[in-house]
Structure 1
């Protein structure tokens, strides 16, 4: 077997392994960022005041329609 060919194949395999490792790290960072954003969004939604109950008085409880 040609030594240059073997060396080239080893370089390709090494580059492929490095690319897979980098991709796995990028996915892990993306998942962490999405978790942080989800937590922040949940915190903001929890901080919103509760809307008033819809059955307070006659306003908005009847619908008049005309054909």
Structure 2
């Protein structure tokens, strides 16, 4: 193997490593943005109404007449 081929392989490997690191950083940033958006959507949801006590409302019992 000649020196030029070794140098070219090392340069290609280095470029691939830098590209992989950049891709990972972009992915992490996208995931952070998605997490932030999801948190904002969850905060925008209205609070659920409090359910009344089971025996405190009409319809707590059923009368059956035959």
TM category (shorter chain) comes to 0.7 to 0.9
Return the match for 1:57 from 32, 53, 56: 53
1:16 corresponds in structure 2 to: 13
The two structures have a TM-score, normalised by structure 1, of 0.76
Unmatched 5+ residue regions in structure 1? 63-67
Aligned residues: 56
Distance, in Å, in 2 between the alignment partners of 1:53 and 1:17 is 60
Residue 22 (structure 2) pairs with residue 25 (structure 1): yes
Two-structure CA RMSD over aligned residues (Å): 1.8
Unmatched 5+ residue regions in structure 2? 61-66
The two structures have a TM-score, normalised by structure 2, of 0.77
Moved over 6 A (4+): none
Higher alpha-carbon Rg: 2
